[in-house]
Structures are given as C-alpha cells and as structure tokens.
Amino acid sequence: LQISEPDEFDIMLVMPVSRLQLEACDDTGAYYYVSFKRNPKEKHLLKFLDEDGKLSAFKNIQALRDTIKREVKNIKDVEVTVKRKKAGSPAITLLIKNPPAEISVDIILALEVQQSWPPSTQDGLKIEQWLGRKVRREFRNEPFYLVAKQNKKEKVLRGNTWRLSFSHTEKAMMNNHGSSKTCCESDGPKCCRKSCLKLLKYLLEQLKMKYPKELEKICSYHVKTAFFHSCVLWPNDTDWCVGDLDHCFQKYLGYFLDCLQKAHLPHFFIPQYNLLSVEDKASSNFLSRQINFQLNNGFPIFQE
C-alpha cells in the first residue's frame, strides 16, 4: 500500500512462544502484561523478566537494539545507521543510505503466540458477509502476535506492556479482499478497494505534512481500520466497481468523517477498543474540518 516512493519498510522480528499467561492491563483489551506458565520452553527469555515475573518489553527491545547496533558496525558496503530511540515507539529504525534514496526500515519485535486469541477479540473481525465464515475461522486459528509497545495509560510506566497486533491478518485481507475469490486476480473482475484506501492514505499523508502538530495523534492505521469497516458495510465486489472510484471513495470518506465527528472508531479486531479517544478529540475535529474543506473544493491537495 505504499503510495509515493518505496522508501519505508516494516519488518516483524518474530519470537515464537507457547503457553503464555496474559493479564489485561487496562480496559481496551489490546494491552497486556505477559508472564510464562510453569516450566517454559523459552528458558532464554527468563533473563528478560522483571521483578514481578512479567516479561519486560523494555528489556527485550533494549537487548535487540544493542545487538542491532553491534551488527550494523559490521556492514561495510552500505552506510547503515540506527535512528535515535523514539519515545513510545515499538520500532527500531534503521536508516540505509543508498543513492539515489534513503530507505528507512522499522524492525518490530513481536511474540508469536500459539494459543487461542484473547477474549477481547471474540466479537471482532466481522467479515462473515464480506469474506465468509470459513475465512474468519481460518484466521482465528492462526497464532496472534504481541508487539513490545508501551501503554501510556499505565499508572507507573515500567515498560513491560505488550500490545496485540494483527498485521498478518490485515495483510491477508488486503491480498484477498474480494467477496468473490477471483476479485482483482489477473483474469478476474477488478475492484477499487485498494485505490480508495491509497487515496485516503495519501490525503492524510499530505495533510499531516501540512499540519504536523495538529494531526500528530492521527495515523494511517486509523484510515486502514475505517477501510476494513467499510469493506464490511459494503461487502460485495459490485459495491466497489473499478469505474465507480469517485463514488466509492466518497462513501468510504463519509464513513471515516462520521467516525471523526463521533470520535469513535472501534479497532477492527478488538471492538471495545476505541482508536479515537476523547482526549484526541481536537485532532479528530481538526482533521474532519480539513477533509470537509478538501471535499467541498474538489480536493485541491491532490492537484498540488
């Protein structure tokens, strides 16, 4: 879904773990403390436990960062640097200087958990009408992932929280996005779902460049989540005919604007988790005004 230059990449560095004990650390259903059940196979991870016996995300990331910094020094033919740590970000970012462009690679540490998905996901992933019950069942039988992400709502910031991640399922839905199995395949009918998402991603990207401070709290994940909800609202391939791009984009944009105005956008996999919290209402309102301006003036930002 890269829009402009292909200069940003995300790599998930996966650590398989089994038999984890998860303890929700707030009411979002997305953030957890992680500890091992008795006699874990993963003895090598025991050194990353904190004094309460919880697996520390902070200690894991620190060790990974040190390892990467050490290894980067051995790369001779390309100039690679490790970017300074960004507060609250689960990623370790490498900058690769390679004419003609600089590439940034985010390495994200993730636990791959081979057990059933947490209860907070039970009513999420409402794709039955869109991709079918069987596909939903298959997705939920796959492992889930936890990324080392600080929960800002924690009373004491100890850096030992992990957040659920479903990027693997999101990718699979993107790659097989049709209600008919042949949608957008080489000889199948084409739809405009991806084009709609790219347009809104681009719109947000341009607005964020113009108003970085005002839109600091809004990210492309909000746009992607609204996209998945739109695919559920309009589940048929005929709802996204390639010739109706204008109409389809406005429909999807209308849904996103509605979420911004209500400051309510449920996480696609964890419905109780609202991605547009009330404290970010100023950002939501600002974005809503900017999008309405673009909408009413024929999207001047696309012509710039």
pLDDT digits (tens, 9 = 90+) for 247-268: 999 999 999 999 999 999 999 9
Reported confidence tier of residue 34, pLDDT bands at 50, 70, 90: very high
Among residues 150, 176, 202, the one where a domain terminates is: 176
The reply to whether 160 and 192 lie within a common domain is: no
Beta bridge partners of 106: 10, 93
The reply to whether 125 and 228 lie within a common domain is: no
What's the total number of domains in the chain?
Answer: 2
Mean pLDDT of the 52-64 span: 90
Of the given ranges (59-63, 153-157, 252-256, 287-291), which has the lowest mean pLDDT? 153-157
What pLDDT, in 10s, does the model give residues 62-78? 999 999 999 999 988 88
What does DSSP assign to residue 44? G
The reply to whether 158 and 208 lie within a common domain is: no
Mean pLDDT of the 29-56 span: 88
Among residues 157, 176, 195, the one where a domain terminates is: 176
Domain that holds residue 188: 180-303
What pLDDT, in 10s, does the model give residues 188-227? 899 999 999 999 999 999 999 999 999 999 999 999 999 9
Omega before 16 cis (within 30°)? no
| DSSP annotation string for 101-169 | EEEEEEEEEEEEE-SPPPGGGTT----TTTT-HHHHHHHHTS-EEEEE---TT-SS--S-EEEEE-HHH
